[in-house]
Amino acid sequence: MKTAIATVSISGDLREKLAAIAAAGFDGVEIFENDFLAFDASPRDVGKMVRDHGLEISLFQPFRDFEGMPEPQRSRAFERARRKFNLMNELGTDLVLICSNVSPLALGGIDRAANDLNALGDVAKEHGVRIGYEALAWGRYINDHRDAWEIVRRADHDQVGLILDTFHSLARKVPNESIRSIPGNKIFFVQLADAPMIDMDLLYWSRHFRNMPGEGDLDVTGFMSAIAATGYDGVISLEIFNDQFRGGSARSISQDGHRSLVYLMDQVRRTEPDIKIEVPSMPPRVEVEGIEFVEFAANEQEASELGAMLSTLGFAKTKRHIAKAVDLWQQGDIRIVVNTDQTGFAHSSYLTHGTNVCDIGLKVSDAKATVERAKALGAAPFSQPVGPGELEIPAIRGLGGGIMHFVDRSGDLAKVWETEFTPLSTGANVINAGLTRVDHVAETMPYEDMLTWLLFNTSLFDTHKTPMVDVVDPAGLVRSQAIENADGSFRVTLNGAENARTFAGRFLEESFGSPVQHLAFECHDIFKTVEALTSNGFKPLVISPNYYDDLDARFGLEEDRMEMLKQRGILYDRDDQGGEYFQLYSPTYAEGFFFEIVERKGGYSGYGAANAQFRIAAQKRHLRHYAMPKR
Ligand SMILES: O=C(O)c1ccc(O)c(O)c1
Ligand SMILES: [Mg+2]
């Protein structure tokens, strides 16, 4: 499998783009003509620059409005093509993409187009180049790969083949199965892009909203499986027109691109086991069974404030690490680790971000295999020296500067809490509040990084994404999307902040990019839980009475029930099947970190999106009214 990416897909000038593309591990590039035109080096020098980066020019594109023109435009188009073939010779590439004609002058007619391509095939042969014909979804007459293939078939020329682009085919819902009858050697090139399902003009959708395979909603895997079935063994190339990518980090977008291709081909291999697909073998997507622990990095002072908050939530400090200043707090199946050690990763995380979640431990089916798959997908393994009596726990670097550890049921790893920790005599008079497990981990990132997070999580773990929802903060929009496994034992919400004045954006800025902004714990009887919390001295976030008036209007709850919610500051939601969701929020801590307590009833599977706006407004009021702990 040879991989490539079009230069349009990422930001920078041509030199910056090439450096990022090479670093991400691609074999080649599609030179988008405008990137070449805007660059001030000769075609020969550009060709050399590409090869000096260890890349090849897999394709030159696009050549527009060629087939089916009347005279004199037809002759002009041939002349134009000759000029570009000369340019390709100098660049050192032998394949050009001709996209279907969009000109109002075009005459149409399948045989006319086939004849033109056949005649151009002769010219191409003189120059030692090949032509690939692609149907644009908005082409004037040709906008379906089945018609483009018919033209290529009738052109019947060795130099003329078909280029398939997932976007054009899937956006128009052309069945993937139609690809299987095309001979693989007549497919000259394959371009891949995904896109979110939005009802929009095709051209606008294509030019602004494409994203990497796996980041959108199109069946790119089905498409690629059909391609694989034709015997195609050429380049697979990303051609992504995306507004955020154009302005994003060239390095990280290129890395995502490479990850998306490895992930895609791994999926294809699993759905088409009989087809030979060259992709490094790797373990399948990892089954996550739950969250084993969440670790905070802190200093002594802030650890005691955090501890006070945990106590009001009903956690007990149960264990201390055998060698380090690391405490374990527990309630139900929840483990919170508070690390104030002056050495190691947690300490450097504290120095960078202040008190923050620096590490998340996941319970997985196979911890070693998780790291192996992560490495195959381009993630970095993590390790630090282990002291006497400590275990080597498989780990990787996550996004946003944190790390992730993986434990499974096998051998020593299952006993890490007994091996590395010694029990403390708690004695404290904290009342257990009935919190049973981590319901979800909520991560905040700049909006333009959301897809990176989405791909990272869904390519590594056996999870799916939920539809994106808009959350209105008084200062701007926050987009929110969840990643979950099938039984809900692993849920992460991604919250993309559009600006730094939103509650989420402010947290990111103040914490220097620390991603985990809140932890939500599950309980099974929120009213009982509140009783225990109150005895522990917990003070919930204060919600506006207006919220409860509206709640009453919307759901018509019984009066006492309504009063109970209002008195206790509990937010409420109900789905169409009658499933119910109860949410209670802690005050904010430090730079806007907080805890949430939720109860799900009757199969409610969402996150209370309808309540988020009112919760955020309350949190912002809280930030204004109460002095935050200073450091
Ligand atoms: O948007 C376009 O014009 C355009 C050009 C070339 C392509 O390969 C393509 O898929 C789209
Ligand atoms: Mg294309």
96 CA from centroid of ligand 1 (Å):
12
Six token digits for residue 179: 């690809």
Q: What pLDDT, on a 0 to 100 scale, did the predictor assign at position 625? A: 66
- Give 237's pLDDT tier (boundaries 50, 70, 90): very high
Residue type (1 letter), 466: T
Secondary structure letter of residue 286 according to DSSP? B
Helices (H) and strands (E) in the chain, counts: 21, 25
Nearest CA to ligand 1 atom 1: 207
The reply to whether 288-423 and 435-627 are identical in fold is: yes
Question: Exposed/middle/buried for 40, CB within 10 Å: 0-12, 13-18, 19+?
Answer: exposed
d(CA 74, CA 133): 17
State if residue 99 touches ligand 1 by the CB under 6 angstroms criterion.
yes
- The domain segmentation of the chain, as residue ranges, is 2-271, 288-423, 435-627
Is residue 135 a contact partner of residue 144, using CB atoms and an 8 Å limit?
Answer: yes
Six token digits for residue 477: 């929009």
Nearest CA to ligand 1 atom 5: 62
Q: What pLDDT, on a 0 to 100 scale, did the predictor assign at position 18? A: 97
Q: Could you please report the per-residue DSSP string of 388-457?
A: TT-----EEE-STT-EEEEE-SSGGGGGHHHHSEEE------PPP--EEEEEEEEEEEEGGGHHHHHHHH
Of 7, 207, 239, 243, best ligand 1 pocket probe by most atoms within 8 Å of the beta carbon: 239
What confidence tens digit (pLDDT) does each residue in 141-178 have?
999 999 999 999 999 999 999 999 999 999 999 999 99
What confidence tens digit (pLDDT) does each residue in 106-133 have?
999 999 999 999 999 999 999 999 999 9
- Give 624's pLDDT tier (boundaries 50, 70, 90): confident
Nearest CA to ligand 1 atom 9: 136
d(CA 544, CA 559): 18
Model confidence at 629: pLDDT above 80: no
Of 103, 134, 168, best ligand 1 pocket probe by most atoms within 8 Å of the beta carbon: 134
Nearest CA to ligand 1 atom 11: 136
Q: How many CB atoms lie within 10 A of CB 41?
A: 13
- Give 280's pLDDT tier (boundaries 50, 70, 90): confident
State if residue 334 touches ligand 1 by the CB under 6 angstroms criterion.
no
The helix (H) or strand (E) run that includes residue 476 is: strand 476-484
Model confidence at 547: pLDDT above 60: yes
The helix (H) or strand (E) run that includes residue 252 is: helix 250-271
For residue 81, give every residue at least 6 positions away whose Cβ sits within 8 Å of its Cβ, in sequence order, or none: 63, 66, 120, 123
Please tell me whether residue 113 adopts helix, strand or coil conformation: helix
Q: What pLDDT, on a 0 to 100 scale, did the predictor assign at position 137? A: 98
Q: What pLDDT, on a 0 to 100 scale, did the predictor assign at position 101? A: 98
d(CA 249, CA 68): 41
Of 66, 99, 170, 206, best ligand 1 pocket probe by most atoms within 8 Å of the beta carbon: 99
The helix (H) or strand (E) run that includes residue 160 is: strand 160-165
* Ligand 1 atom at minimal distance to the Cα of residue 6: 8
Report phi then psi at 73, rounded to 5: -60, -30
Please tell me whether residue 28 adopts helix, strand or coil conformation: strand
For residue 558, give every residue at least 6 positions away whose Cβ sits within 8 Å of its Cβ, in sequence order, or none: none
Binding site feature residues for a divalent metal cation: 134, 165, 191, 239
* Ligand 1 atom at minimal distance to the Cα of residue 163: 8
* CATH homologous superfamily of 435-627: 2,3-Dihydroxybiphenyl 1,2-Dioxygenase, domain 1 (3.10.180.10)
Q: What percent of the chain has pLDDT over 70?
A: 98
State if residue 204 touches ligand 1 by the CB under 6 angstroms criterion.
no
Model confidence at 427: pLDDT above 70: no
Model confidence at 631: pLDDT above 50: no
135 CA from centroid of ligand 2 (Å):
8
d(CA 269, CA 228): 9
Q: Which ligand sits closest to the CA of 238?
A: 2
Binding site feature residues: 134, 165, 191, 239, 440, 518, 596
Q: What is the rounded average pLDDT of the residues 367-384?
A: 96
Q: What is the rounded average pLDDT of the residues 274-286?
A: 85
- What is the fold of 2-271? TIM Barrel (3.20.20)
Q: Rounded to an integer, what is the distance from CA 261 to the centroid of its chain?
A: 13
State if residue 134 touches ligand 1 by the CB under 6 angstroms criterion.
yes
- What is the fold of 288-423? 2,3-Dihydroxybiphenyl 1,2-Dioxygenase; domain 1 (3.10.180)
Binding site feature residues for Mg(2+): 440, 518, 596
Per the listing, tokens 């209370």 go with 608
Is residue 80 a contact partner of residue 120, using CB atoms and an 8 Å limit?
Answer: no
Q: What pLDDT, on a 0 to 100 scale, did the predictor assign at position 593? A: 93
Q: What is the mean pLDDT of the chain?
A: 95
Is residue 613 a contact partner of residue 470, using CB atoms and an 8 Å limit?
Answer: no
167 CA from centroid of ligand 1 (Å):
10
pTM: 0.95
Longest dimension (CA), the chain: 93
Q: What is the rounded average pLDDT of the residues 59-74?
A: 98
Q: What pLDDT, on a 0 to 100 scale, did the predictor assign at position 630? A: 40
